[in-house]
Amino acid sequence: MLYTVSDKVYTFDMDKIMIGGFSLYELSLVFFVYGFIGWCCEVIYAAVKRGKFINRGFLNGPICPIYGCGVALVLIILTPINVNFLVLFVASSILTTLLEFITGFALERIFHKKWWDYSAEHFNLLGYVCLRMSILWGLACVLIIDVVHPAIFGALLKMPHIAGYIILAVLTVVFITDLIFTIMQLLKLNKRFAFIEKLNRSLSAGSDLIGESLYKAASAVDQKLNEARSKLENSRLVKAFPKLGLKKEQKLSDAVNNTEMQTDDDSDK
């Protein structure tokens, strides 16, 4: 990338800016990829738990910056000390818990709103973090670093650099625009400027479309799993207690007979 200052030409090469063993180019891709993956996971989780589509992101677009920043920090800080499972797990749990606490605290102080609340969980700290989620974040980071990231990172490095730079340029412009207008919306400035509200709706339209598709897919999978679980439980009960199955059939038969008799009585009237 080129820019000029006082008739002098300077180059800005993201590949030459190294942060903890990763170039700025690589970390930028990591931020957007895992920010999107994190958003998808949040949407799927909400779909299964609450049975409806909820845009869980801070922004209007389909991205959760905390996931992108979190994975980038984990890769920068923890890759050098990835010597075994225990060290990686403990370090990941501590790092992600700190990030979640600082982010949750800052968001509430700035915008007077909580994006998540663990107050009902055991061993929580001011509702921003809790032991259960810290353990889950630690396990997730181990899975990402040892299994998921090598595959994703390998695919990203195969992408031509010119294509990568173009994609990053577009995503960065959209992200910064979304961030600015989301903050203006949270500060209630959208009531003063109608175009802000229109732009926010335009930015959220794409994420709503993706989110609805994820919601439908997750709901369908969850329904099939529940049906399979129900069949499995029923088959186990019948095998363990054969008389239970006979009793159920007998009750069903009696109910059908009673219904038929009642129908006959009604027709006689």
Q: Round to whole Å and give the CA distance between 174 and 255.
A: 63
Domain annotation covers residue 258: no
pTM of the model: 0.72
The β-bridge relationship of strands 8-11 and 2-5 is antiparallel
Confidence of residue 6 (pLDDT cuts 50, 70, 90): very low
Domain annotation covers residue 165: yes
Enclosing domain of residue 218:
2-224
Kind and range of the H or E run holding 22: strand 22-23
- How much is the pLDDT for 259? 45
- CB atoms inside a 10 Å sphere around CB 225: 11
Domain annotation covers residue 75: yes
Q: Is pLDDT at 27 greater than 90 in this prediction?
A: yes
Token duo for residue 179: 């961030």
**For 163-219, how does the pLDDT look when each residue is reduced to its tens digit (9 = 90+)?**
999 999 999 998 998 888 888 777 765 555 566 666 667 667 777 777 778 878 877
Kind and range of the H or E run holding 117: none
Domain annotation covers residue 261: no
DSSP calls for 80-102: GG-SSHHHHHHHHHHHHHHHHHH
Domain annotation covers residue 95: yes
Domain annotation covers residue 183: yes
Domain annotation covers residue 6: yes
Token duo for residue 239: 């095998």
- How much is the pLDDT for 256? 45
Residue 112 three-state SS: coil
- In the chain, the number of structural domains is 1
Q: What letter would DSSP give residue 191?
A: G
Domain annotation covers residue 116: yes
- How much is the pLDDT for 62? 87
Token duo for residue 129: 């973090």
